[in-house]
Structure 1
Amino acid sequence: MDDRERGTDPTREIEPSDVADILLVDQSPGDVRLIEEGFADGSIVNQVHAVADGESALEFLRKEGEYEDAPSPKLILLDLHLPKLSGEALLAELEDDPDFRQTPVIVLTSSSAEEDVVRSYDLNANAYIQKPVEPMDFVTIARAIEDFWLALVELPCTE
């Protein structure tokens, strides 16, 4: 499928309203780089904002401290294995907070453990994706996220 069939015509001018803010919560600088490169290599224009732990994610979402000017993300990509506040604990916080309950969360983690999958969905994660081993597979994941979550699905207004 080429860019025009996917709806990402490279000759089309990008409107500011076309750019979605995505919050990436991942402690691994290497994985953050691979995910950001996956979006860039896939010609995906969304803005990825990365934080390294669950506490920073809550500060970002609540616009606290250094994140007071942070945008409201349309989507959260969440690793489960985080310092300070785990991915599961963050999911529980989001589920209990009416301001963030409607923000879709995709768990993007290295774990393939069935108990992690079940627990994530029990905490209302919207999807669970195991991180790929091959760097080019991050492009496939980024395109799938864009095609489904940011192009096809109607998300609630975040502002």
Structure 2
Amino acid sequence: MSRLVRFLLVEDDEDHAELVKRNLRRARVANSVSHVLDGAEALAFLRRQEPYTDAERPDVVLLDLKLPKLDGLEVLAAIRTDEDLRDLPVVILTTSDAEADRERAYQHHVNSYLVKPVDFEKFRQMVNDLSLYWGVWNVLPPRTDE
């Protein structure tokens, strides 16, 4: 049985964030897309710390690598070592195609590593495919906060 998906988008580039949010809405898969601008804010959101005490736990985290305060790999490492968060699916969504970044991400058990295409249409299609995969094809575990 499919359900609507809650995404947390961790992206400091407002233009990239708007493209992702717009295309997730266009695909009509996401129930909600919450957006934070840096790594520290992402962890506060996920841990339901101020000002996110009422935040719903996302089903999938879309995580950029190049972030202020804590970078994406630091956020990923923190998620994977947190007993309450470690099973949360994380998708790296970044401009970095560096082998070292990919290797470190997979060492921290990222679920997927996607490089943002420069071409707008390819980027739009990637976000559409991403939303279909996580919102339609992939079967997520039961929610524990309901």
Q: Which residue of 1 aligns with 2:130?
A: 145
Residue 64 of structure 1 pairs with residue 49 of structure 2: yes
The answer (yes or no) to whether the contact 1:38–1:136 under 8 Å persists in 2 is no
Residue 141 of structure 1: CA displacement?
Answer: 1.8
Give CA-to-partner distance per residue, 1:51-108, whole Å, 9 cap, x none. 0111100110111111111111000000000111111111110110111111110000
- State the AA in 2 paired with 1:101: R
Separation in 2 of the partners of 1:114 and 1:49?
A: 29
TM-score computed with the length of structure 1 as normaliser: 0.84
Separation in 2 of the partners of 1:25 and 1:78?
A: 5
Change (3 A) 1:154 1:42: closer
Q: Which residue of 1 aligns with 2:120?
A: 135
Greater Cα shift, 142-151 or 108-117: 142-151
Q: Which residue of 1 aligns with 2:99?
A: 114
Separation in 2 of the partners of 1:45 and 1:156?
A: 16
The answer (yes or no) to whether the contact 1:26–1:50 under 8 Å persists in 2 is yes
Separation in 2 of the partners of 1:152 and 1:44?
A: 11
Q: Which residue of 1 aligns with 2:14?
A: 29
Residue 18 of structure 1: CA displacement?
Answer: 3.0
Residue 149 of structure 1: CA displacement?
Answer: 1.9
Q: Which residue of 1 aligns with 2:66?
A: 81
Separation in 2 of the partners of 1:112 and 1:142?
A: 17
- State the AA in 2 paired with 1:108: L
The answer (yes or no) to whether the contact 2:7–2:60 under 8 Å persists in 1 is yes
Q: Which residue of 2 aligns with 1:103?
A: 88
Q: Indicate the RMSD between aligned Cα atoms, in angstroms.
A: 1.5
Please, which runs of 5 or more residues in structure 2 have no aligned partner?
none
Aligned residues: 143
Question: Which protein has the larger Cα radius of gyration, Structure 1 or Structure 2?
Answer: 1
